[in-house]
Amino acid sequence: TFPSLEGLLFDTPISPISQSIYGRKELSFSQIRAFKEAGYRTIFLTGCPEPWRQINDTFKFYGFEEIYGQAAIGEKFPNAEKSPWGIGDKWMFKFAEDLLKEAEGTGRPVFIMMLSTTNHPPFKVPDGEQVSKVDISKLPKTINLEGS
């Protein structure tokens, strides 16, 4: 996850850059700087704990003005379900929705980068959600279901 995230956002092959000697240095080549320089409010949002890979301390050097994670989401939504990876995506999206509503009247555009945590084992359907079963007979025949 992290090498891909850093490569996409900060245009660097160094990973984890946040835990390297460059972790607390401004990155002039960060993709996020373009948004910030264009006047966007830049936000990084994830359901994982903010100290994961030191994102709470380092991402501000790379152009993010605000960083929110498990603690902020959990404070706003105390009943949000948690997993070993943090708070479920459902709550992260609700938090993002509130950020967007808050920004509507300001006239300032917002860039929100969201990192999902739900697609990690153990896989659990969020509280109160129903999931339909998948009929594998409807899958394309090009998918190898037998493992051979």
Identify the top-confidence range among 13-17, 77-81, 125-129: 77-81
Question: What mean pLDDT is predicted for residues 78-105?
Answer: 92
Token pair recorded at residue 129: 């959600």
**Domain extents for the chain?**
2-138
pLDDT above 90 for 18: no
Closest CA to 28 of 56, 2, 67, 63: 63
2-138, which class in CATH?
alpha beta
Question: What mean pLDDT is predicted for residues 30-50?
Answer: 92
For the chain, the distance separating the N- and C-terminal CA atoms, rounded to the nearest angstrom, is 28
The reported pTM is 0.78
pLDDT above 60 for 29: yes
**What are the C-alpha distances in Å from 44 to residues 1, 108, 138?**
15, 16, 38
Give the per-residue pLDDT at 135: 86
More confident residue, 82 or 143: 82
Closest CA to 50 of 94, 18, 98: 18
Tens-place pLDDT, residues 92-134: 999 999 999 999 989 999 999 999 887 777 777 776 778 888 8
